[in-house]
Structure 1
Amino acid sequence: MKTLSLLLLIFGSLLLPGCVQPAHDKTVVYLLDVRGLPDVRQVGIRGRDKPLSWGQDLQLKPTGPDSTLYRAVVTTHTGYLITEVKFTVNGEFEFQDADNRRIQFGPGDTTTYRARFNVRP
């Protein structure tokens, strides 16, 4: 009886459809405004999905000379509809001890996300 139950369980599990979502490349263009912050030397982003990580900044680059707008383009391979990030300035996280930013991927392959450091949308 136990053998029959085990065989039925194995056979039944083979008939179930897969529950894994298909993954796609999703690109986010991050634009961060640091206007009004003193002595900005380094601007970064950290996050949940590779190539981002919570342990190390991915550097954002200024959009022009003397610019207060910084930019990074990040492509991740994911099956999720959102990602989570936080920005850093001079190695310091925004929103200390608060929730991460949640970026919802758009319907296309590329989403543009505009933000101001330490200001909620």
Structure 2
Amino acid sequence: MKTPSLLLLLLASLLLPGCVQPAHDKTVVYLLDVRGLPNVRQVGLRGRDNPLSWNQDLPLMPANPDSSLYRAVVTTHTGYLLTEVKFTVNGEFEFKEADNRRIEFGPGDTTVYRARFNVQ
């Protein structure tokens, strides 16, 4: 009786490595429009995949002279087809009771993602 279960265990261990997707570097250029928001002092990004974290902001930098557009470039090593993020302004999350933004990686190595704070 032990032989069939041992055989199944051996067979399963041989098949498992074939289920892992290969990982690649994926870069996302995040552009966030904060026009109309009062007293913007800092803009950040939080997310699922390294180097992002749900516990700490990755700062976005002003991308134009009037500071209405902020930018960050994030490269992650992943086997997934998408990532999840939320923006912060002055430490406050957008979409507090809603789903995260889902960013699908494009066919190339770099994806440009344009957004407005708290607008889907």
| Same structural fold, with TM-score higher than 0.5 when normalized by the shorter chain | yes
Residue 19 of structure 2: SS of its match in structure 1?
Answer: coil
Shift of 1:15: 4.3
- Residue matched to 2:104: 104
Give, in whole Å, the separation in 2 of the partners of 1:14 and 1:93.
42
Mapped to 2, the partners of 1:102 and 1:64 lie a distance apart of: 25
2:6 is aligned to 7
Partner residue, 2:45: 45
Shift of 1:8: 1.5
Match of 2:94 in 1: 94
Give every structure 1 segment of 4 or more consecutive aligned residues whose post-TM-superposition deviation is greater than 6 Å.
none
Deviates further, 83-92 or 15-24: 15-24
Write the deviation string for residues 10-53 of structure 1: whole angstroms up to 9, x where unpaired: 44225426100000000000000000000000000000000000
Q: Mapping of 1:22-33 within 5 angstroms?
A: 22-33=22-33
User: What CA distance in whole angstroms lies between the structure 1 residues aligned with 2:14 and 2:44?
Assistant: 47
Q: Using a 3 Å threshold, how does the CA distance of structure 1 residues 65 and 79 change in structure 2: closer, same or farther?
A: same
SS in 2 for 1:16: helix
Provide the rounded CA distance (Å) in 2 between the counterparts of 1:51 and 1:15. Answer: 32
Aligned residue type for 1:104: E
- 1:85-106 C-alpha deviation (Å, 9 max, x unpaired): 0000000000111100000000
What is the distance in 1 between the residues matched to 2:84 and 2:68? 23
Question: Which one-letter code corresponds to 1:53 in the other structure?
Answer: S
5+ residue gaps, structure 1: none
Provide the identity percentage: 80
Cα RMSD of the aligned pairs, angstroms, is 1.2
Alignment correspondent of 2:116: 116
| Secondary structure of the corresponding residue to residue 7 of structure 1 | helix
**CA distance in 1 between partners of 2:48 and 2:35 (Å):** 26
Equivalenced residues, count: 119
